Structure 1
Amino acid sequence: MLRALIFDFDGTIFDTETPEFENYRALYREHGLVLELSDWQRGIGTWGVFDPWAAFAHLEEIERERLRARNHARLMGQLERSDVRPGVRELLEQAQAAGLRLAIATSSDRNWVQRWLEHHDLRAYFETLATQDDVQHVKPDPELYRLALARLGLDASEAVAIEDSLNGSLAAVRAGLRCVVVPNPVTRSLRFPPETLRLEGFEGGLEALRALLAEDALK
């Protein structure tokens, strides 16, 4: 029986990933460099896999810091003006009305996630947040999802993970969860684990999610 939905945050609820990639790609172009999407995708949903600043190792540290500050300020300005992904609010409202419990499992830190949840007035929907600050290993390790389940007091069979990335979906599958991938523009071309289900967006709400799960259960 489905009792809870456990959401990833970046790229899933709030698409920070697409504008971040586009900002870095523009920065690379300014310096005659090429940022490949496939390289960027390796680092989505985790940490320490891809360093976008390695390409600027030839610059003096003061210049790299100037570029970092400019790039960060540009990204934050864009995010401040952006909304959550289409259909997310409606899905959260419908899930809450249906009595489903909601949680977040994210490789991002707590301050980052809480900042944007509060900015978009979404914090009250979520019973618990499992973040980078709470674990030793982030995704694709299953520790974050296992922690979220433990805090909810639920078995993996009673929850579904909502993800957008390969690293996130691997973490969910390794935790024994059913996983629905809802990719964004920078993760759409990824090859996800065969165990995952896929929706192209949140616009169908809880009804579309339940229909997908029911269809899978009949296979």
Structure 2
Amino acid sequence: MADPAGGVERLRTVRAVLFDFDGTLVQQRVDFARMRRRAIEVLQGHGVDTTAIEGLHVLEMVERARRSLAQRDAARAQALADDARRTIEAVECEAAEEARAIAGVPALLRDLRARGVRVGIVTRNCRVAVERVLARQVLAYDVLLTRDDVQHVKPDPRHLGEALRLLGVAGEASAMCGDHPMDVAAGKGVGALTVGVLPEGSDPAPMAAAAPDLIVPSVAALRDPLGLDGAQDEEG
């Protein structure tokens, strides 16, 4: 466990913890390469030259194309956005069918809430896919905000800010935990303690460059830093 900024000591004082979903709380194999290919095909099918935007994340790529097209034809721009949304959701929902909570996660979330710490889930995934997972995997939380629930999606810190507003907790009294550098960036944007999840075998460079306050191999590894006791859920 890497603790370059004294994160362990600070973590025990937080009143809320925000978690990313995919790769942090649940393991699911979203085929992002296929999602990207299909999204690009949709954009090109609507006459968009994707050359200059293919380096963006998929959601940002679609939004950039939508805004550009909307300047000329609002109806076509909406049709593009709808087609792209359906394409992206299809890939996400396919992955959701095989998703499973990561070992130790259900018990940690349950014990956090039992101790009075508020729990939020903030994800770029769509709500229908997340709800399909949660219908099978029991995860305790107070607030869930998918991309469908907010105007501004992380790494925009306003995604986290809305979750904190609903939880009634200030950013400085919270922690943000996720497996992507954008989770760290968003957490810093609201003044939260940031926890990077770096599973064994992952490339450490991107997370190290994001400079979270604390780096752990899994969410379950937060039990001790959070001061939680008790056995973990056998179902993970």
TM-score strictly above 0.5:
yes
Among candidates 12, 15, 27, match of residue 3 of structure 1? 15
Among candidates 190, 204, 208, match of residue 206 of structure 2? 190
Q: Deviations over 1:53-80 (max 9, x none)?
A: xxxxxxxxxxxxxxx89x949x83x653
Give the unaligned 5+ runs of structure 1: 25-40, 51-67, 212-219
Give the unaligned 5+ runs of structure 2: 1-12, 36-54, 63-86, 229-236
Residue 103 (structure 1) aligned with residue 120 (structure 2): yes
Is the Cα contact below 8 Å between 1:8 and 1:162 reproduced in 2? yes
Name which of structure 1's ranges 172-181 and 83-92 shifts more when overlaid on structure 2.
83-92
Alignment of 1:112-191 (within 5 A): 112-122=129-139, 125-184=140-199, 188-191=204-207
Separation in structure 1 between the aligned mates of residue 96 and residue 127 of structure 2, nearest angstrom? 17
Q: Tell me what 2:106 maps to.
A: 89
Is the Cα contact below 8 Å between 2:96 and 2:129 reproduced in 1? no
Separation in structure 2 between the aligned mates of residue 87 and residue 183 of structure 1, nearest angstrom? 15
Any idea what SS the aligned residue of 1:204 has?
A: helix
Separation in structure 2 between the aligned mates of residue 98 and residue 137 of structure 1, nearest angstrom? 31
Aligned Cα RMSD in Å? 3.5
Task: Give the C-alpha shift of residue 99 in structure 1.
Answer: 1.7
Q: Tell me what 2:25 maps to.
A: 13
Any idea what SS the aligned residue of 2:14 has?
A: coil
Is the Cα contact below 8 Å between 2:184 and 2:212 reproduced in 1? no
Matched positions, count = 175
Is the Cα contact below 8 Å between 2:97 and 2:132 reproduced in 1? no
Separation in structure 1 between the aligned mates of residue 212 and residue 221 of structure 2, nearest angstrom? 21
Separation in structure 2 between the aligned mates of residue 19 and residue 132 of structure 1, nearest angstrom? 16
Separation in structure 2 between the aligned mates of residue 79 and residue 136 of structure 1, nearest angstrom? 23
Q: Deviations over 1:161-193 (max 9, x none)?
A: 111101121111111111111134666542342
Amino acid at match of 1:103: G
TM-score, with length taken from structure 2:
0.61
Separation in structure 2 between the aligned mates of residue 195 and residue 130 of structure 1, nearest angstrom? 22
Aligned in 2, Cα 1:187/1:164: closer, same or farther, shift over 3 Å? farther
The percentage of counterpart residues that share the same residue type is: 28
Separation in structure 1 between the aligned mates of residue 153 and residue 30 of structure 2, nearest angstrom? 22
Q: Deviations over 1:108-158 (max 9, x none)?
A: 222222221222122xx1111122123222111101100011001111122
Amino acid at match of 1:20: D
